Structure 1
């Protein structure tokens, strides 16, 4: 059975999406915890690249900034956290197909899963409609993020790296000190330290975000 639920068809229609191949869209919202033969991972792989190209083109068109600043904004706008925020804004979580254990573990609110499925939907749309319509969809869904502050300020890890160099300190060292929870709802605790200065810790749903938060905490405490 690979037919979309009526409420999911209505939801996609509200986004301006009319699925031609329902099994593909069914796959795009199916998590591996269901135990089914196919899930969203292949479409996520494709959607990630389409999203990156779309945002890079958009930034190039709209800004005369240097490569470094463009890359900083690109990384922020295509991050899993941003994808998850967009997913929440459009109500994606209600339509993700999950196994019972994943549902019980709160996977529907997982930043990792929301971000991944957001990319898989982009992948499905690209396969079915091509680049130009998918670019238009992304620009519409990402409009608020693009016009917001994402990536406009220096990333905390970059700021900490520069602070350490400017103060003749060794480069900051990051290490995972704790990991808990199932794979689809994992929590990582990261410690960042600068020798002869101090250390700070932070916890998040993925290693990169935990490192970012730890660097921000270090800067607030010691810089």
Structure 2
């Protein structure tokens, strides 16, 4: 009886870390990976290739191992590794520029043992972990902290933009805005961050609407920035130039 109870406790202890895993999310990842392989395979049947879908499935299956191991981790365990992850992320992006494979005018991949690795995809996760670690250590959102977050983002963003990879560069912007939003950044600051892009679009559509938008931005800057006169003047000038 004692041995049976002890065995049950051992099994329960062994499987306890797996009980907190979001299995629905894991199944979705596997399903999307499989669907991607099927789509690649359908393209291969049309053009006579047969390597890429197999490579996709092999890499997806291999990555299931680190996926399951990482899924058991508590995210707090990543906090001491924040800057190491950030450093490795940027080093991998620099490595692409030095030894990467060029295709269609872009240098985005590193070939390792027959597999093409795209560091910019891992850089998205690296940026999220880095920004989460920085924001976690600061309970109050300040303008200085937001500028620090933007400075951290600029280095990997610039390296990806030089590849060039405009799509991932835009994703980096959305990641940064999302992280700042959930860290309770002033909504006015976030609007001012994306304001130049909106100004450029509105100017190409209808100039009076663009001028009205610049006036609205001036009001937002006046009420949200700590240095009202200087901040408002700077934001108006930036959006007029944009």
What TM-score do the two structures reach when normalised by structure 1? 0.29
Higher strand share: 1
- Structure of larger gyration radius: 2
Indicate the structure whose relative CO is greater, using CA pairs within 8 Å and at least 6 residues apart.
Answer: 1
